[in-house]
Amino acid sequence: MLDGHNLASPVRVPAIAQPTPITPHPTRAEAEAAVRTLIRWAGDEPSREGLRDTPARVVRAYEEWFAGYAQDPDTLLSRTFEDVDGYQDVVLLRDIPLHSTCEHHMAAITGTVDVAYLPNRYVVGISKLARVVDALGRRLQIQERLTAQIADSIERALQPRGIAVAVRASHGCMTTRGVHTQGTCMVTRDLRGDFREEPRRTEILAMLTGRG
């Protein structure tokens, strides 16, 4: 008879990692039903005349507000140019309009973005910089992450000697609820490469604030 000391230890079978379930994309009908639920929760009746078509309108608006999920910023910057006759100074695009949505309260974020880079070898059409801002903005965002994502996209596409991104925006989650602080503006920036070091740092900060 075997005693307890001679019993073999149980074999531990490693757990098999389960794939992360993919949530099916809701149908348009499901999205509109969700809007009707929110209308009822707010205290109104979605079947009344003025609100009857609101769920469909909201879903169409969401398709526009969140169109950035269907766009790849890297693809937008994929067409670059080398024929610049040796130009290597700052390229700065100011006051790109920003329309985004706060991921915490789904309130509007509106403002402007300045993007600058020091070409290393490649440049890109300036309209593409604006498109990248728009694509990344039209997602659920926080401003700090958005600022870094814009810089990341430019860095991957152009590999410049320096990047500077500055975002100035008003957040509806502060101006229309909570503390109700009208007129506030949040500023974030991301400086990389040569723009982190003097004298380029002082130069680009002056340009981003409109003094250079």
Nearest to 187 by CA among 154, 144, 131: 144
Shared-domain flag, residues 38 and 55: yes
Shared-domain flag, residues 84 and 55: no
Shared-domain flag, residues 53 and 77: no
> pTM for the full model?
0.85
Residue-level pLDDT at 1? 46
Shared-domain flag, residues 39 and 116: no
- Token pair listed for 18: 């389960």
d(CA 194, CA 202): 11
d(CA 195, CA 212): 14
Residue 98, classed as helix, strand or coil, is: strand
Residues of the chain with pLDDT under 50: 1-2, 4-5, 7
Environment class of residue 51 by beta-carbon count within 10 Å: exposed (0-12), middle (13-18) or buried (19+)? middle
- The set of catalytic residues is 102-105, 143, 171, 173
Specify the amino acid at residue 8. Answer: A
Structural domain count, the chain: 2
Shared-domain flag, residues 126 and 189: yes
Shared-domain flag, residues 46 and 130: no
Shared-domain flag, residues 50 and 81: no
d(CA 190, CA 164): 6
Per the listing, tokens 């958005």 go with 146
Last residue of a domain, one of 20, 43, 65: 65
Residue-level pLDDT at 191? 98
Shared-domain flag, residues 80 and 61: no
Last residue of a domain, one of 12, 44, 65: 65
Each residue of 37-57: pLDDT tens digit?
Answer: 999 999 999 999 999 999 999
d(CA 120, CA 128): 18
Last residue of a domain, one of 65, 84, 110: 65
> Using alpha carbons only, how large is the chain's radius of gyration in Å?
25
Domain range for 175: 73-208
Residue-level pLDDT at 150? 98
